[in-house]
Amino acid sequence: MEQMRIKQYFGMLAAGLSLMALSGCFSSGEPKKDATLYIINVLDKTFFDDCHIPGSLNIPMQDVTKKAAQWSKKADVVVYCSNYACGASAHVCKKLQEVGFESAWEYDAGMAGWYQAHLKDPKAYPVVGPCKQGYLTMENKPTGSEEGQEHGVKVITTEKLKVLIDEHQKSAS
């Protein structure tokens, strides 16, 4: 059992490292599109270490725009926190859009949304960490109106985030 967990951990670690290394150009002939994907987790390190999406970068919300100054404004950036009730990801996403990121999204379902999808389909929605925090399994429903635009920022769903990650993985290989 322990060997299986170790294998699973290293499999997730490899997936995460491949996501972090996503960069270069799409072969689609769109020269102005950057093929880099940044998935930003703005939760405290304790929560990040407990459970996060493979390839996520843990950056404190007050440091994201400073760190992002080093990135191409054409990169895809997805910001997430804990769940629909948390406003940190919307705040950070708005700041990124204000400084010129063309493809910045808030993943407002947060880690709880991804984890709950993982429980239904672990292979499609991998996670890193023991995932023991209680908020991960609590009810997690949207608090706003229409899907797609909340708090003045673009919103991405769990399913669309998975597609975006898959597209970036394909273009990197």
Q: What is the pLDDT of residues 80-113, one digit of tens each?
A: 999 999 999 999 999 999 999 989 999 999 999 9
Q: Tell me, what's the pLDDT at 54? A: 96
25 pLDDT tier (thresholds 50, 70, 90): very low
3 state SS of 172: helix
Is residue 173 over pLDDT 90?
no
Supply the pTM of this predicted model.
0.78
Amino acid identity, position 85? A
Sheet with 57-58, strands from edge to edge, namely: 57-58, 37-41, 76-80, 103-107, 153-155, 149-150
**Structure confidence by residue, pLDDT tens digits, 130-163:** 999 999 999 999 876 545 555 678 999 999 999 9
Q: Tell me, what's the pLDDT at 95? A: 95
For the chain, the residue count is 173
Q: Tell me, what's the pLDDT at 34? A: 55
Question: Where is pLDDT greater, at 36 or 127?
Answer: 127
DSSP secondary structure string for all residues of 121-153: -TTTS--BS----GGGGS-----SSSTTEETTE
What's the rounded Cα separation, in Å, for the pair 130 and 146?
33
